[in-house]
Structure 1
Amino acid sequence: MSAEPHPTLPPVRLPADAELARDALGAPLFARAVRLARWAGPDTRIEIGGELAADQLPLAARELGLETSDEDSVVYASQAWRVAVDTGLVDVTEPEEESGEAEGERGTAVPGEDLALVTGGTPGDVLELWLAALDTVLADAAVPDLDDLVDALDAGGEIDFDRLDWNPGREADFLDGVLANLYLLTVAEGGTADGPVPLPVLAASMVVPDGMGDPTDAVLEQVSDAMMRLDDQFRQLEPIGLVEYRPVDEALMAEGEEPAGGAGDAGDGEEDVSRYGMVRLTPLGRYGIRARMLEAGVEAPAVGDLADKGADALLDGVARYPEGAAQAEIEQWLAGRELPTAVAELLAAARGDDEGAPLRRLRCQQALAPAGPEAEPVVRAVLDDPELGGLARVWLAEHGVTDVPAPDGAMVFWLTVDTIAAQLAADGETEELPLLMETLTAHHAGFFDQAWRVDHPATADVLEAMGRLHPDKKAAKEARKAAFKARSRQS
């Protein structure tokens, strides 16, 4: 998978390795490969390239419980054998090309050393074998079908790639891009999560230029072509357990309907959309695509990555996570620690006057929210801390503690600036932020006369944002004046 310049992806939620390994062993194509690896022996005939001899394929299909009279059964047996060889489940010795069958030479096959890992290895060992199998299947999926290859043979029996209009690297990159988009749609906050993605949406994400309104007929034609190519590819990827796929309804072709119609007009209901194909990454598929992304250098975190890290790494790590993912990561981090100690570590990590500190304090407050009464002494200990005192008072008030000393004016203004700075860092200039600004300033007469004096590194930036976003025009003008004073004071 090629690495694209990409911001850190949202963290994916994955089952435990043991559960993923069970899914891998249950994937039909991988299970067939294991079965053929156990079947391989002294009588297994191998051709050049490690493929099973033609007369061996019906035997392999019978071993897999497939109907040998069915042409597809030979194809399934051949695919499973190729996976078994590529993953090391089978060791093959090819015949010498010069000698050939005429001299009685033949290749041999025996179960590979890695076959023992299927039952005797760790879940991680099984997943490594499955990833190797996935590489094989993805490479096969990027190859045109046999009819196209035959049509593209030149007089010398070589493939004319110009005539075929197929570039192996380009096809592999296209499929990688499709799977990356499917992964992003799956893990994004508010994305599809466990829901399927319509094939037209996925095809359009690769073809339609950014910013294009209504696609042109030429672009719709490209979307249609991409859909049909993906339909074939996802059919090949489903048996390895990467996706669950509902293919394009063949009746659409019989009816003469253009598949691209689904890209721009999904129809009147979900049933209509599904006729154009629906695809969903399985949990094993999420694991597989993430592993390929990590190998390509893409930052693709998973919930639980930070569970064994310190509190500083936790707060910095979840700073850019969507809220739901951040909460899930925090809960896993807390689950393995004594609460009072964990709370003390979080509070210590939340201190600082660097640019990321306000957002760390916001995530710290989020982390402390579910903590029970045993955290109260640790939180009380920072009431007089200029950076954490406001946070501590909020937590104590939310937990019904009544004897909390009121903050002085300086702390109130500092906490206001810190809160807005954290919200700006977390979500940018959202629609909700003006209301927050109005609420915070409404309780303090002459707020901006005091705010520009707040000794906080983000004071000027916050006041400038309030000047742009505050819903009250008079207050917005006062904010801009205060921002100028704050900027002058800082410089």
Structure 2
Amino acid sequence: MSIEWVNRAVADLREWGRARGVDVDVDEVRLLCDYASDYLNVHELGDFTPVTFEELLLDIYPRKVIAPPESAAETVAAARTLVDFLLATEEIGGKMAARMRSTLDRIEPEMPVALADTSLFGMAKSLFSAMGADSLEQGDVSVSSAAEVDGPDGEHDAGSCDCPACSPPLPPVRLAPREELASDALRVPLVRDARRLAQWMLAGGRTPTVRGRLRVRDAAEARAQLGVADPALLWDLAVHTGLVRVERTAVFDGEDPGPLDVWAAVVGFLLTSGTGGAVTGHPALDEEIYTLLDMAYRLQEPVPLPAVAEHLEGVGLLDDGPVDLSALVRRLAYCGLAEAGVDDHPDGEDGGGAGEDDGAAPEVLELTPLAVWGMRKLYGDFGIEAPEVADMVAVGAPELIEELLSGIPEEMAEADIEGWLSGRPPLEAAAELLDAASGAQSVVRGVAVSIVDRLGPEAEEAVRGRLDEAELRPHAIHWLSARGLPAPALTPDEALWMSVDMLALAISAAEDDPEAFAENISASGPPAHVIEEMWRVDHPEVVEVLELLGRSMRDQATAKAARKAAFKARSRAIG
């Protein structure tokens, strides 16, 4: 991602080129600087070395950038211009410039081969390259001489490609309370181990390499003394998050910015820094973490591991053999990104969660509340709108109903209803809901009545007060009668009207999943003799309801009765 030093460098380079009449490919140079910053720990122009160019052009570009092999010449030319600029501005000396130019001379014939070698592609690049060269030329992916595809921070028009920045809008999510998240962040095993390693390095007076990396001997001692599996990853994480501060080979205690700020840096590091297999044990899987978490974030429910396997197979990650997905989930749980438990109740029944501690293998990929928070923060850093669902407890009934109709996941909807009802007495809740239902569309009325149906006799006064409203009267009578409270009898016309009204609520759900609706309505829907009379009901959606029944009822006689009733209802409306 472009940061301040990159912006300054590009501006200075552009001015330098104008002053000397040099044709500068600013976009290519910016991409070089961006990737050097993101992946090679380059924090200023003076950090560039011959090795930087070698790693950029023969490792990072082949893995991360969609670019045809013939574009290598333009990229190497831009790198040579950058070397000229570094020398002219005295960021490097003459000997360093000569070494850089010699390295670029060697790279130039090798880079087209590397760009064409599909075995070197990262998973994001493999996914987008699968569209083929024709799609690049036609603009399905925005490309100049190269297009960044590994993250959603590229500078292209939204909607011009399939990268995360141009993907469909994100669904709203419900975040855990901030204090709960902060407490959870302090308990993430990966972060705790990074803190332990940082303190161990400081306490022992140990120093990193000149490039700020953990020394081999210190890594070996850390494994033995601290019992950590990957000290190098922990050290890089400690440095990246500011838990320690490194100046050349000196180590200083860092300024802990707070648990959530540290956690945000952790998520950014794990998902965008090219960890090379240190997270999952598979370099290609490390590059796929963002995609997997993005999938779970969008679904807002646990993803069964067979679905994860299907996704990985689709992007070619299982070509070399199966991956232990349970181990993958456990590793992500160690990193604080996934829940370690299993799906103990796939049929929706409550059950005790089994986690990694009891030896059960995870069966689903489920984001932790911390992961949801961290992903949303990362989306924001990328400039992607990531809406948050407001706390429904304090809102009015119209806002609650609107949110429930927005398509939020069933589990979230249930929690919102329970929270909203717990925040007010039953009588007050019923009055608010029925006020919102009065004169509203049938779908709004249906949601409101369904929630009121959860309330006990304490809400009687509010419900009884709606007996004089034609659209609410049948629902009120049914509510009172179901609780053994005094109520007038439903007339046949009122019973029919209420049946149509409640079926109207199901129209949207039936369109989303017609098979499930057909199965349910065929098992528990109204009989043919009732459906035959529905055409007489003075309800604005009676035709739609009858047409739905005609399409969905599996009993042919009942379906035919619904179609005939729909015809009569349409004829009556026309007449």
* TM-score category of the 2 structures, normalised to the smaller one: 0.5 to 0.7
Aligned partners of 2:442 and 2:501 also within 8 Å: yes
Aligned partners of 1:420 and 1:437 also within 8 Å: no
> Structure 2 matches for 1:403-482, cutoff 5 A?
403-428=486-511, 429=514, 430=517, 431-439=519-527, 442-443=529-530, 447-451=533-537, 454-456=538-540, 458-471=541-554, 473-482=556-565
Pairing partner for 2:467 from 383, 388, 396: 383
Aligned partners of 1:290 and 1:300 also within 8 Å: no
Give secondary structure in 1 for the equivalent of 2:253: strand
Matched, 1:228 2:323: yes
Corresponding residue for residue 178 of structure 1: 292
Looking at structure 2, the residues matched to 128 and 77 of structure 1 have their Cα atoms a distance apart, in angstroms, of: 22
Bigger relative CO (Cα 8 Å, ≥ 6 apart): 1
Q: CA RMSD in A?
A: 4.4
> Structure 2 matches for 1:117-266, cutoff 5 A?
117=258, 126-139=259-272, 143=276, 172=287, 174-182=288-296, 187-188=300-301, 197-198=304-305, 201-208=307-314, 223-225=318-320, 227-228=322-323, 237-243=332-338
Aligned partners of 2:244 and 2:251 also within 8 Å: no
Corresponding residue for residue 239 of structure 2: 85
Corresponding residue for residue 46 of structure 2: none
Aligned partners of 2:496 and 2:534 also within 8 Å: no
% of aligned pairs identical?
A: 28
Looking at structure 2, the residues matched to 225 and 277 of structure 1 have their Cα atoms a distance apart, in angstroms, of: 23
Corresponding residue for residue 159 of structure 1: none
C-alpha distance 226-178 of structure 1, shift in aligned 2 (>3 A): farther
C-alpha distance 351-90 of structure 1, shift in aligned 2 (>3 A): farther
**Mind listing any 5+ residue stretches in structure 2 that lack a counterpart?**
1-151, 153-163, 342-358
**Mind listing any 5+ residue stretches in structure 1 that lack a counterpart?**
96-105, 118-125, 150-163, 210-218, 247-273
C-alpha distance 449-183 of structure 1, shift in aligned 2 (>3 A): closer
Corresponding residue for residue 336 of structure 1: 423
Matched, 1:5 2:165: no
Corresponding residue for residue 443 of structure 2: 359
Pairing partner for 1:67 from 208, 220, 224: 224
Looking at structure 1, the residues matched to 292 and 266 of structure 2 have their Cα atoms a distance apart, in angstroms, of: 19
Corresponding residue for residue 260 of structure 1: none
Deviations 1:412-471 (A, max 9, x none): 3332221111122234431111344434x5457x504513xx232x22211211222345
Aligned partners of 1:467 and 1:476 also within 8 Å: yes
C-alpha distance 129-301 of structure 1, shift in aligned 2 (>3 A): same
C-alpha distance 37-488 of structure 1, shift in aligned 2 (>3 A): farther
Looking at structure 1, the residues matched to 554 and 313 of structure 2 have their Cα atoms a distance apart, in angstroms, of: 40
Aligned partners of 2:397 and 2:433 also within 8 Å: yes
Aligned partners of 1:245 and 1:278 also within 8 Å: no
How far 1:78 moved relative to its partner?
A: 2.9
Matching residue's letter, 1:207: E
Deviations 1:241-278 (A, max 9, x none): 223669xxxxxxxxxxxxxxxxxxxxxxxxxxx99985
How far 1:204 moved relative to its partner?
A: 1.6
Corresponding residue for residue 392 of structure 1: 476
C-alpha distance 417-113 of structure 1, shift in aligned 2 (>3 A): same
How far 1:317 moved relative to its partner?
A: 1.7
Looking at structure 1, the residues matched to 437 and 262 of structure 2 have their Cα atoms a distance apart, in angstroms, of: 42
Looking at structure 2, the residues matched to 28 and 113 of structure 1 have their Cα atoms a distance apart, in angstroms, of: 17
Aligned partners of 1:91 and 1:110 also within 8 Å: yes
C-alpha distance 416-80 of structure 1, shift in aligned 2 (>3 A): same
How far 1:405 moved relative to its partner?
A: 1.6
Give secondary structure in 2 for the equivalent of 1:243: coil
Corresponding residue for residue 402 of structure 2: 316
Query: Does 429-438 or 417-426 show the bigger shift?
Result: 429-438
If the length of structure 2 is used for normalisation, what is the TM-score? 0.55
Give secondary structure in 1 for the equivalent of 2:252: strand
Query: Does 279-288 or 419-428 show the bigger shift?
Result: 279-288
Aligned partners of 1:38 and 1:111 also within 8 Å: no
Looking at structure 1, the residues matched to 272 and 554 of structure 2 have their Cα atoms a distance apart, in angstroms, of: 56
Looking at structure 2, the residues matched to 129 and 24 of structure 1 have their Cα atoms a distance apart, in angstroms, of: 8
Looking at structure 2, the residues matched to 363 and 292 of structure 1 have their Cα atoms a distance apart, in angstroms, of: 33
Looking at structure 2, the residues matched to 141 and 237 of structure 1 have their Cα atoms a distance apart, in angstroms, of: 16
How far 1:229 moved relative to its partner?
A: 8.8
Aligned partners of 1:180 and 1:289 also within 8 Å: no
Give secondary structure in 2 for the equivalent of 1:228: coil
Looking at structure 2, the residues matched to 77 and 380 of structure 1 have their Cα atoms a distance apart, in angstroms, of: 68
Pairing partner for 2:253 from 110, 115, 118: 110
Matching residue's letter, 1:347: L
Matching residue's letter, 1:331: E
Give secondary structure in 1 for the equivalent of 2:432: helix
Looking at structure 2, the residues matched to 455 and 15 of structure 1 have their Cα atoms a distance apart, in angstroms, of: 42
- Counting matched residue pairs gives 384
Matching residue's letter, 1:462: V
Looking at structure 2, the residues matched to 472 and 76 of structure 1 have their Cα atoms a distance apart, in angstroms, of: 63
Looking at structure 2, the residues matched to 484 and 305 of structure 1 have their Cα atoms a distance apart, in angstroms, of: 45
Deviations 1:354-413 (A, max 9, x none): xxx333333323322332322110111112222222222222122221x21234455333
Aligned partners of 2:522 and 2:553 also within 8 Å: yes
Looking at structure 1, the residues matched to 568 and 366 of structure 2 have their Cα atoms a distance apart, in angstroms, of: 53
Give secondary structure in 2 for the equivalent of 1:109: strand
C-alpha distance 84-316 of structure 1, shift in aligned 2 (>3 A): same
Pairing partner for 2:376 from 283, 291, 294: 291
Aligned partners of 2:230 and 2:278 also within 8 Å: no
If the length of structure 1 is used for normalisation, what is the TM-score? 0.63
C-alpha distance 225-276 of structure 1, shift in aligned 2 (>3 A): farther
Aligned partners of 1:380 and 1:392 also within 8 Å: yes
Looking at structure 2, the residues matched to 89 and 205 of structure 1 have their Cα atoms a distance apart, in angstroms, of: 36
